[in-house]
Amino acid sequence: MDYTKLLDYNKKIKLGIVGASQGFGYTSLVQIKNVEQIDIHIVCSIDMDASYNALIESGYNKEKIVICHNVEEMKQTNESDIIVVDDYKLVLESGISSVLEATGNIDVGTYIAENALTKGINVYMVSKETDSFSGTYFNQLAHENDAVYALVNGDQPRNLVDLYSWGKLLGLNIVAAGKSSEYDFVYDRDSGQITYTDGKEVYYNAPEIMNAWEYEDTNTLQQRYEVLKELTGTIAADVCEINLVSNVTGLIPAAAGLNYPIAKANELADVFVPKEDGGILDRSGVVDVFYQLREKHEPSFAGGVFIVFELNNETLVDLLRGKGHVISKNGKYGCIYHPFHMMGLEAPLSIILGERLGVGTRNDTRQVSVMVGVAEEDMQAGHTFTVYGHHHEIKNVKPQLFERKEAKDAVPFYLLNNVTLKNNVNKGDVICFEDIEDASTQNNAFEIYEKGLLVE
């Protein structure tokens, strides 16, 4: 797409950021400083000093940054000021036209989205945890209020939805869509070590991986798994992101725990295809995740996204193969991929497309799949669940992704946060609403999920 026409707008987009001091919010601050069409008018995080310092580090004018504690103080500021608050409810009282929600906190996320959309303020939802159970409702609410509710470029769900929709526009018959997991398995031929780049670089002696280095068939995947299985596992962040894509596109999860084959980028058109064609899929029209395997000097997929599609013209296959595209050995499938997700550096695109063209809201979104929790050990009544860590896991609860009809009465994974069991739950059981204390009176996220289920 040529974005030149979008550069012609003179009116500034007035933006608020909730969750501005770290991660996606911080990188958005950094990049938006360079975007002429967007003015950040208000930022919020629990720690106002952190927000203030983030603005300074990002190069914003110190003289224009104003710390406020209430609406009255905000009214005394100038249009060109950047307001810093620690109360997220104040953000929607600042006269903004759009808000970027990046806290990862479902209470904050649901409040911001519901109240902003009701006021006609556009919402750009970074917090995948919130969208996993509320996206259906918020897309409908945006449609009803002539506002925009959109996932945000820079994270895999929106990037994959964009790539998938591009393929559908071209008439591609897409059999699978997916992403690489956040971190790679990187092999060093000199040392025989695998580095698992999960942010702290775990080194693992695995020279035997060379016995399965060249892909032959799915037995190669099994051999790689046997070598590296101690480093593998289902990651809540991956499951959540795939949940979002499923709900928007209608694609279904390839497996409840996702398949996570250990594969190279040039193998994807052989791996993510139906079993009858030599791949791993039980059916077409799925979304999935893989671990990238590469050598230390090879580029990373970088948590990027891909689609695998059918090919049925030999001349076209020969042309694409000749140009170096990823084509299956049997010539029946091709793969297109975007090897990046650059967080807040890409976020301005979603905001501009939403504000200028109304792009982003998908009122055809449905709760196609539900991210549920499965007990990994016996749990007693009275146990309280807590979401923790960088990947937003829950201790002793395994995330799984079920089609809605299979999920039945299961509690969405992130609705379990701060919820207490009223029944004992056995190892291997899916945690259901009948197993938990009623938390709906304390948290309207439960009601939002129920409203979304009613959308047909």
Average pLDDT of the residues in 81-88: 98
- Number of residues written out for the chain: 456
Q: Is residue 343's pLDDT more than 60?
A: yes
Q: 7 pLDDT exceeds 60?
A: yes
List all residues 6 or more positions away from 429 whose beta carbon is below 8 Å from its beta carbon: 374, 375
Q: Which tokens go with 108?
A: 């904050």
Cβ pair 337, 363 in contact under 8 A: no
- Contact at 8 Å (CB) between 341 and 303? yes
Residue 41 has pLDDT above 60, yes or no: yes
Give the mean pLDDT of 19-38.
Answer: 95
CA distance 347 to 32: 8
pLDDT over 70 at 4, yes or no: yes
Which tokens sit at 97?
């036209």
User: What local confidence, expressed as pLDDT, does residue 439 receive?
Assistant: 76
Q: What mean pLDDT comes out for the span 222-233?
A: 94
Q: Please, what is the average pLDDT of the chain?
A: 95
The C-alpha atoms of residue 244 and residue 370 are separated, in whole angstroms, by 9
| More confident of the two residues 167 and 4 | 167
Give the pLDDT score at 92: 98
What is the structure's pLDDT at 199? 56
For the chain, what percent of residues have pLDDT higher than 70? 99
The superfamily (CATH) of domain 4-154+344-357 is NAD(P)-binding Rossmann-like Domain (3.40.50.720)
Greater pLDDT, 1 or 446: 446
- Per-residue pLDDT for 443 more than 60? yes
Using alpha carbons, select from 67, 68, 56, 54 the residue that is nearest to residue 24.
54
User: Which band of pLDDT confidence, cut at 50, 70 and 90, is reported for residue 10?
Assistant: confident
CA distance 91 to 445: 20
Predicted local distance difference test score (pLDDT) of residue 106: 95
pLDDT tens per residue, range 327-341: 999 999 999 999 999
Residue 440, pLDDT score? 74
User: Closest by alpha carbon to 438, among 399, 414, 413, 411?
Assistant: 411
405 confidence band (pLDDT: 50, 70, 90): very high
**What pLDDT sits at residue 366?**
97
Contact assessment for residue 401 and residue 243, using Cβ atoms and an 8 Å cutoff: yes
CATH class of 369-453: alpha beta
Do the beta carbons of residue 50 and residue 34 sit within 8 Å? no
Residue 200 pLDDT greater than 90, yes or no? no
Indicate the pLDDT class of residue 197, thresholds 50, 70 and 90. Answer: confident
Domain boundaries in the chain? 4-154+344-357, 158-341, 369-453
Judging by DSSP bridges, how do beta strands 185-188 and 193-196 pair with one another?
antiparallel
The two tokens of residue 255 are: 């497996």
What does the pLDDT look like over 234-290, one tens digit per residue?
A: 999 999 999 999 999 999 999 999 999 999 999 999 999 999 999 999 999 999 999
The confidence score (pLDDT) of residue 183 equals 86
For 98-120, the pLDDT digits (tens) are 999 999 999 999 999 999 999 99
pLDDT over 80 (residue 441): no
The whole-angstrom separation of Cα 435 and Cα 395 is 17
Would you place residue 362 in the very low, low, confident or very high pLDDT band (cuts 50, 70, 90)?
very high
Q: Which residues neighbour 275 within 8 Å (Cβ) at sequence distance 6 or greater?
A: 281, 282
According to DSSP, the β-strands at 82-85 and 65-67 are: parallel
Question: Do 4-154+344-357 and 369-453 have matching folds?
Answer: no
Cβ–Cβ under 8 Å, residues 293 and 185: yes
pLDDT in tens, 136-177: 999 999 999 999 999 999 999 999 999 999 999 999 999 999
Using CA atoms, how far residue 431 sits from 104, 239, 385, 406, in Å, is 22, 17, 11, 13
Q: With beta carbons less than 8 A apart as the criterion, state whether 262 and 290 touch.
A: yes
Please, what is the end-to-end C-alpha distance for the chain in angstroms? Answer: 32
Tokens representing 390? Answer: 């960088």
Mean pLDDT of 222-239: 95
**Number of Cβ atoms within 10 Å of the Cβ of 353:** 19
Residue in the structure block whose two tokens are 């060249």: 214
